[in-house]
């Protein structure tokens, strides 16, 4: 009995120490190892204003550095919120992740979903609150930073930033990961039902100029996503997928309008299930969604059409307006996602590519070597990022409205 008590006591001590470390005790243990924070402290050096860079990591000077936030308690007094809500794409976490985080930290996670960057942006611009973490793609991060919609991250609370592949610390839209941390990246192409369709169209021509006797005529969908759909049409037409040339855009719009009769609809939420279930034969969509559905239905394959497709990086960011407690809890969650085991579990489950180098090192070879998750160079060179277009974004939106409302 005595021995049991001693063991129980030791176990409690170990668990308490681990829990403290997870709850920001990590700050104390990280401090003597500045090298570990290399990604966080080195990357900002590349920015044009080196004097500004150290601010986010110098916690003790924070009260002086942020006069507008004077009433906020000193960072060390802040306790994480009991619960936060993540505003995320659907099917974008491994099922056990939120529970694991709650077990480790006591913080509960709720999730709400959006279907496109434009939905996310409109919702936040419309004043939605209550989300402590959002997951916008690259070009939308650029827009949100520009519009002052994001909190700066406190890198002291995210020691696992050191696990990021250095490539992902130098991104054009957020060098030094001042505002966001890359979550997963992927591609947009075509998924199809391998049982019902032997030869899917290799060119976008088969999609945008489908003939009535093509088996997929009327049994395919396009994403309900302005920039993705215009990118696909522009890439097919041989134009820059971020063009500001209105004649080219008009041509793309007309192509999309004439293609409508061959579409079962625009869908961002269920398209992969409709293909798996055989209701549709193919769909425009995201690689990981199709590959997850392939696990479920066993009859889906994915490819990038010969003219090319898009590539994107989604990111974890904290919207302005959160409480200090929610911000700390969200930073702890970001740190959790950056854990190598968690990162590997996430990518292996949902078939999107992890930007976490330490996760990749321990990940299953089947995942790391899957060319549909990590495209080889000959495919990679055909993939294009969607870029932020500033004011011009509204032109795409107007043309998209015309496409959507055309008969
Ligand atoms: C996951 C959606 C992928 C995000 N269901 C596309 N940026």
Tell me, what's the pLDDT at 49?
A: 31
**119 within ligand 1 shell (Cβ under 6 A):** no
Three-state secondary structure readout of 65-127: HCHHHCCCCCHHHCCCCCEEEEEECCCCCCCCHHHHHHHHHCCEEEEEECCCHHHHHHHHHCC
Is the Cβ–Cβ distance between 177 and 153 less than 8 Å?
yes
Q: How far is the CA of 286 from the centre of ligand 1 (A)?
A: 6
Pairing of strands 180-193, 300-303: antiparallel
Nearest CA to ligand 1 atom 2: 89
Q: How far is the CA of 280 from the centre of ligand 1 (A)?
A: 20
**89 within ligand 1 shell (Cβ under 6 A):** yes
Rounded CA separation 277/271 (Å): 10
Tell me, what's the pLDDT at 37?
A: 33
Segments of the chain with pLDDT less than 70: 1-76
**104 within ligand 1 shell (Cβ under 6 A):** no
Could you tell me if residue 237 is left (phi over 0), alpha (psi between -120 and 50 degrees) or otherwise beta?
Answer: alpha
Tell me, what's the pLDDT at 407?
A: 86
- 385, two tokens: 């990022």
Q: Residue written as tokens 């100029």? A: 209
**400 within ligand 1 shell (Cβ under 6 A):** no
Q: Measured from the CA of 312, which atom of ligand 1 is nearest?
A: 7
Rounded CA separation 178/251 (Å): 39
Tell me, what's the pLDDT at 262?
A: 98
Tell me, what's the pLDDT at 70?
A: 47
Q: Measured from the CA of 137, which atom of ligand 1 is nearest?
A: 7
Nearest CA to ligand 1 atom 4: 89
Rounded CA separation 319/370 (Å): 34
Is the Cβ–Cβ distance between 203 and 303 less than 8 Å?
no
Rounded CA separation 187/379 (Å): 10
């Amino acid at each position: 009995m005595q021995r049991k008590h001693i063991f129980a006591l030791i176990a409690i001590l170990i668990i308490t120490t681990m829990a403290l470390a997870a709850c920001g005790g990590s700050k104390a243990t990280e401090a003597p190892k500045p090298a570990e924070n290399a990604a966080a402290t080195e990357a900002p050096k590349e920015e044009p204003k080196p004097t500004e860079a150290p601010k986010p990591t110098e916690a003790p000077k924070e009260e002086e550095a942020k006069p507008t936030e004077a009433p906020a308690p000193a960072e060390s007094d802040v306790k994480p919120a009991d619960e936060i809500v993540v505003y995320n794409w659907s099917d974008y976490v491994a099922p056990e992740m939120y529970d694991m985080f709650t077990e480790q930290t006591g913080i509960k996670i709720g999730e709400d979903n959006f279907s496109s960057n434009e939905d996310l942006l409109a919702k936040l611009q419309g004043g939605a609150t209550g989300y402590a973490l959002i997951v916008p793609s690259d070009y939308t991060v650029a827009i949100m930073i520009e519009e002052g919609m994001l909190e700066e991250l406190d890198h002291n609370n995210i020691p696992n930033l050191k696990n990021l592949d250095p490539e992902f610390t130098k991104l054009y839209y957020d060098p030094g990961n001042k505002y966001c941390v890359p979550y997963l990246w992927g591609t947009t192409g075509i998924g199809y039902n391998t049982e019902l369709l032997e030869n899917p169209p290799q060119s976008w021509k088969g999609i945008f100029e489908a003939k009535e006797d093509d088996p997929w005529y009327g049994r395919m969908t396009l994403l309900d996503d302005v920039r993705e759909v215009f990118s696909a049409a522009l890439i097919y037409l041989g134009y820059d997928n971020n063009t500001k040339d209105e004649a080219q855009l008009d041509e793309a719009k007309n192509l999309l309008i004439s293609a409508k009769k061959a579409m079962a609809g625009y869908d961002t939420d269920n398209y992969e299930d409709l293909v798996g279930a055989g209701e549709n034969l193919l769909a425009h969509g995201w690689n990981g969604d199709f590959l997850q559905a392939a696990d479920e239905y066993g009859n889906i394959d994915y490819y990038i059409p010969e003219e090319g497709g898009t590539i994107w990086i989604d990111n974890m960011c904290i919207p302005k307006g959160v409480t200090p407690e929610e911000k700390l809890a969200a930073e702890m969650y970001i740190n959790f996602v950056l854990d190598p085991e968690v990162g590997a579990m996430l990518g292996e489950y949902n078939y999107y590519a992890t930007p976490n180098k330490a996760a990749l090192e321990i990940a299953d070879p089947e995942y790391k070597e899957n060319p549909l998750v990590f495209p080889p160079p000959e495919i990679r060179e055909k993939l294009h990022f969607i870029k932020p277009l500033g004011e011009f974004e509204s032109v795409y939106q107007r043309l998209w409205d015309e496409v959507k409302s055309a008969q």
